[in-house]
Amino acid sequence: MMRPVRKTLRMLENPKDDADTEEQLRQTKSHLLTIGQQIEKNCEGKSDEWIKEWTENLWVFVSQFTPIGSKQLKKLYNKAVRQSSESQTKIFQEKEKMMKDD
């Protein structure tokens, strides 16, 4: 289930030491987005009960690679998803506005 993100899990466990705090935070968000997308992919087409149980189990598994708990990781993932979708929406709106101005 999580084999496709094996390398990402290792990078989450061992962040680069030479990066500054802001860079480490950006990398962690990126890793969480990748891992969370894999968890969601595993849940596609399953029953609601299965999704709830396995989503929780998979975030617990991910928490083994970091000192952050599973619930906090899931919250961070959800926040990163919201931020990325908001930034994509902004970019789309700016492009649309530029096209209207032309």
**Cβ atoms of 8 and 55 closer than 8 Å:** no
pTM, 2 dp:
0.79
Average pLDDT over residues 76-83: 91
The pLDDT value given to residue 8:
92
Q: What is the 3-state secondary structure (H, E, C) of the chain?
A: CCHHHHHHHHHHHCCCCCCCHHHHHHHHHHHHHHHHHHHHHHHCCCCHHHHHHHHHHHHHHHHCCCCCCHHHHHHHHHHHHHHHHHHHHHHHHHHHHHHHHC
Q: How confident is the model at residue 101 (pLDDT cuts 50, 70, 90)?
A: low
The pLDDT value given to residue 18:
74
Task: Please state, rounded to an integer, the average pLDDT across all residues of the chain.
Answer: 87
Average pLDDT over residues 8-16: 87
Average pLDDT over residues 41-47: 92
The pLDDT value given to residue 92:
67
Whether pLDDT at 10 is above 60: yes
Q: How confident is the model at residue 64 (pLDDT cuts 50, 70, 90)?
A: very high
What 8-state DSSP symbol labels residue 40? H
